[in-house]
């Protein structure tokens, strides 16, 4: 079950590794981070989807996140949750094709 403190941990790790302090979090993670009374079923995820805006090479940052704090990484095996580096384009397409789209810009230092 993913909690707000887990999201904060993923974001701190991603910020430390990437050198970026601002991320856009989309999907269920954005809901968990902001809503108060969240259905338990929604919290049963292990991951958050994040990407960096306004960078010269966003795909490189997403690949870095996936390799270091992503699914099946040492981070994931150690803590049981992970960050999924996604692209802004794919996130926007999910919202346009009928998927539920939630977005949140978060900053970490």
15-45 pLDDT, tens digit each: 999 999 888 888 888 888 888 888 888 889 9
Domain carrying residue 57: 4-107
The two structure tokens encoding residue 84: 């999924």
Report d(CA 83, CA 57) in Å as an integer.
Answer: 18
Query: What is the number of structural domains in the chain?
Result: 1
pTM for this entry: 0.83
pLDDT on residue 54? 82
Kindly provide the residue ranges of all beta strands, DSSP E only, lying in 15-87, ordered along the sequence: 22-26, 47-51, 82-85
| Tens of pLDDT, residues 60-109 | 999 999 999 999 999 999 999 999 999 876 555 444 444 444 555 665 55
pLDDT on residue 95? 47
pLDDT on residue 85? 94
């Amino acid at each position: 079950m993913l909690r707000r403190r887990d999201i904060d941990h993923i974001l701190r790790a991603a910020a430390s590794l990437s050198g970026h302090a601002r991320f856009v979090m989309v999907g269920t993670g954005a809901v968990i981070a902001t809503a108060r009374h969240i259905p338990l079923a929604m919290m049963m995820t292990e991951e958050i989807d994040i990407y960096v805006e306004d960078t010269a090479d966003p795909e490189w940052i997403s690949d870095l996140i996936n390799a270091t704090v992503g699914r099946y990484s040492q981070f994931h095996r150690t803590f049981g949750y992970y960050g999924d580096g996604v692209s802004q384009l794919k996130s926007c397409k999910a919202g346009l094709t009928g998927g539920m789209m939630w977005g949140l810009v978060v900053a970490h230092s």
